[in-house]
């Protein structure tokens, strides 16, 4: 357990501490009603987050942490799966806040007062936080390099300028964890905490992707944005960042991000089964579900979902998984989800490609699973190098 000593606000006592199965089922149903609309518009799903906050789901990990009874990863995964079965873009934005909620208390570099402030904001007001890391020239920091986003030292704090790409949930964020570098001769790099309503922040609404369209992952531009000195919450030498990520964060990333795409694949499986049972071509005189090749194909889908479930369960077990195991879980679960939706498309034919049916949307959404760091080539190269050199 980390050394963070929470001082619970009195209001926390009245907030939900658990996510009941019936509540999660209702969340799935409600989010699914407008999922196609958000896919078409690409708008930030503000109404979805109002619903999640109403049921205490945005801030639940923060509430439990502040009360000294941390949410388990299995509980978090159940919430994410329910949200993703309804609308996966909402689930991705939620996961980003969950991952930061887990990181903050155990990070020794964050000022204790700021830990309390941000966790209470998440717990009481459903505030959203995300890391803004990707840049036009740098790409993803996972592949190395020094960010172009610069924080200049000024009296009382810092002035930050830069552009961040793929900023998931940008219009709805309250806190921006901006990856940048100091203006020192030998720069420090790391996280600068920026309130999203700070003067000098603008959003360029250019997110128009094939899938996960409602993540509203637009560019965020910081133009000489001021933050107080202590908001440089975790800046270190580049070498100091070479240490491995905390084991808890590794497990949460391995379980929650792939759960989104596994949930979408399960939606595709359910739709396909309903289609096969209902579709009765006149030349066949029976449902497609009676055909052996349909049965075999759906059996293969079931086997892939079984593998996914087994891997995701492993991510929640103790003792925790290694970084390589975490990467394998991400690799296999997301690629299995793509295989499932792709197979469903092939079996269904023209109806699968109709915007009137959700299957093509499920396929587009699962494709987005591959772009999350680490990408497939990084996973496989790292695993191969480890095997060859140990």
CATH number at residue 25: 1.10.540.10
Statement: residue 262 has pLDDT above 80: yes
Same domain, 254 and 385: yes
Same domain, 149 and 275: no
Pairing of strands 189-195, 234-236: antiparallel
Give the SS3 label for residue 97: helix
Does 4 map to a domain?
no
Q: 176 near 130, Cβ under 8 Å?
A: yes
Q: How far apart are CA 309 and CA 362, in angstroms?
A: 19
Whether residues 385 and 260 share a domain: the answer is yes
> Distance (Å, rounded) from C-alpha 204 to C-alpha 202?
7
For the chain, give the percent of residues with pLDDT over 70.
97
The answer to whether residues 63 and 101 belong to one domain is yes
Q: Structural domain tally of the chain?
A: 3
Question: Phi and psi dihedrals of 154, rounded to 5?
Answer: -135, 165
Q: What is the pLDDT of residue 318?
A: 77
In a domain, 136, yes or no: no
Q: What is the spatial distance between Cα 98 and Cα 91, in angstroms, rounded to a whole number?
A: 10
What pLDDT is attached to residue 190? 95
- 95 and 191 co-located in one domain: no
Cβ–Cβ under 8 Å, residues 338 and 346: no
Q: pTM, whole model, 2 decimals?
A: 0.95
Residue 161: which domain range?
141-238
CATH of the domain at 271: 1.20.140.10
Higher pLDDT, 151 or 374: 151
Choosing from 101, 127, 153, the residue where a domain stops is: 127
pLDDT at 167 over 90: yes
Same domain, yes or no: 216 and 307: no
Choose one of 238, 268, 285: the last residue of a domain. 238
> Which pLDDT belongs to residue 241?
86
How does pLDDT run across 314-346, given as a tens digit for each residue?
Answer: 999 878 899 999 999 999 999 999 999 999 999
* CATH, residue 148: 2.40.110.10
Is residue 187 included in any domain, yes or no?
yes
| Same domain assignment for residues 262 and 378 | yes
Here the tokens at position 57 are 């789901």
- Of 238, 262, 288, the one marking the end of a domain is 238
Could you check whether the bond before residue 319 is cis, i.e. omega within 30 degrees of 0?
Answer: yes
The pLDDT assigned to 183 comes to 95
Residue 1 pLDDT grade (very low, low, confident, very high; cuts 50, 70, 90):
very low
pLDDT computed for residue 12 by the predictor = 85
């Amino acid at each position: 357990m980390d050394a963070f000593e929470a001082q619970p606000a009195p209001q926390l006592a009245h907030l939900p501490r658990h996510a009941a199965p019936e509540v999660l089922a209702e969340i799935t149903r409600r989010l699914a009603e407008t999922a196609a609309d958000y896919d078409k518009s690409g708008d930030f799903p503000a109404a979805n987050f109002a619903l999640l906050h109403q049921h205490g789901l945005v801030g639940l990990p923060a509430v439990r942490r502040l009360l000294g009874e941390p949410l388990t990863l299995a509980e978090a995964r159940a919430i994410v799966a329910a949200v993703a079965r309804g609308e996966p873009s909402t689930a991705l934005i939620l996961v980003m806040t969950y991952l930061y909620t887990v990181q903050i208390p155990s990070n020794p570099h964050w000022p204790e007062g700021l830990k309390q402030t941000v966790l209470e904001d998440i717990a009481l007001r459903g505030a959203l936080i995300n890391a803004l890391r990707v840049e036009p020239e740098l790409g993803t920091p996972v592949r190395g390099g020094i960010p172009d986003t610069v924080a200049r030292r000024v009296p009382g704090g810092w002035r930050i300028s830069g552009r961040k790409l793929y900023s998931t949930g940008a219009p709805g964020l309250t806190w921006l964890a901006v990856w940048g570098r100091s203006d020192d001769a030998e720069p420090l790099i790391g996280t600068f905490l920026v309130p999203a309503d700070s003067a000098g922040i603008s959003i360029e609404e250019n997110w128009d992707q094939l899938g996960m369209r409602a993540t509203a992952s637009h560019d965020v531009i910081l133009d000489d944005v001021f933050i107080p000195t202590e908001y440089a919450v975790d800046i270190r030498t580049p070498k100091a960042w070479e240490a491995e990520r905390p084991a808890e964060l590794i497990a949460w990333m391995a379980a929650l991000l792939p759960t989104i795409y596994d949930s979408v694949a399960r939606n595709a499986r359910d739709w396909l089964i309903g289609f096969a049972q209902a579709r009765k071509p006149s030349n066949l005189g029976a449902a497609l579900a009676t055909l052996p090749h349909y049965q075999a194909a759906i059996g293969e889908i079931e086997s892939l979902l079984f593998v996914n479930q087994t891997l995701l369960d492993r991510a929640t077990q103790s003792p925790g998984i290694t970084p390589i195991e975490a990467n394998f879980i991400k690799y296999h679960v997301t690629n299995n989800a793509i295989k499932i939706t792709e197979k469903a498309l092939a079996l269904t034919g023209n109806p699968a490609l109709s915007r009137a049916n959700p299957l093509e949307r499920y396929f587009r959404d699962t494709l987005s699973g591959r772009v999350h760091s680490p990408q497939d080539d990084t996973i496989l190269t790292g695993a191969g190098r480890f095997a060859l050199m140990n």
